[in-house]
Structure 1
Amino acid sequence: MYFAIVAIDRPGTTDVRAKTRPAHREYLHTSQAGVTYRLGGPLLAPDGVTAVGTLLVIEAPDLATAERFSAGDPYRKADMFSEVSVRPWDWGTGNPDKQ
């Protein structure tokens, strides 16, 4: 089952994002029990440059596993987000696994 994780940065966390980014990216690409990272990237401000949040798509067996994965993200551990949503998601169009 796929899950979309949408997280919005707290104001003033630009430095936290920059410092934590290497650990965040390593976390995404390190084997996590029951979780496969599929895609992700920063959500941007209207200027198209400034990061204001994060969007991740993962595959996990259930919501509890997806929420544990999200809670373990170094960005979350750094208290960078003002809000986080973890929701089941149906990856239809553009999914390489669905032809």
Structure 2
Amino acid sequence: MPYFIFRGYDVPETSAQIRTAIRPDHRLYIRETHHGVRAVAGGMVVDESGAEAMGTLLILDAPDRDAALRYLEGDPYHGAGLFARFELDRWDWGLGAPPVE
């Protein structure tokens, strides 16, 4: 399956409160497969000091872009309005690619 890179950019004014409240649900969600999509890597994008979250990066293994979008729409972070905007791009994983299952 192809891989997709998701980069969500937080709403600056409310992101800390949303992340704190929703993070446990988000973490459970991304550890499960939904719509044939699984997150294979990811984490918070932080400022230079490492103290403040600015967004989220996920690498998704998905059958296609539409499935990846459905997966992301089900993420509790999306439902809570954490992201001001996002990017989703198909990606050819080279260095460090996970083994084919």
Residues 14-51 of structure 1 show CA distances to partners (whole Å, capped at 9, x for unaligned) of 01111100000010012313112100000001112211
- Aligned Cα root-mean-square deviation (Å): 1.2
- Within-5 A mapping of 1:1-40: 1-12=2-13, 13-40=15-42
How many residue pairs get matched? 98
Which position in structure 1 is the counterpart of 2:66?
64
Q: Which residue of 2 aligns with 1:49?
A: 51
Select which of 49, 73, 95 maps to 1:93.
Answer: 95
Task: Tell me how far 1:84 sits from its aligned partner.
Answer: 0.9
CA distance in 1, matches of 2:69, 2:33: 16
How far has the Cα of 1:96 moved from its partner? 2.7
Matched letter for residue 34 of structure 1: G
For 2:84 and 2:35, the matched residues in 1 are separated by 26
The SS at the match of 1:41 is strand
User: Where do 5+ consecutive residues of structure 1 fail to align?
Assistant: none
Give TM-score, length-normalised by structure 1: 0.93
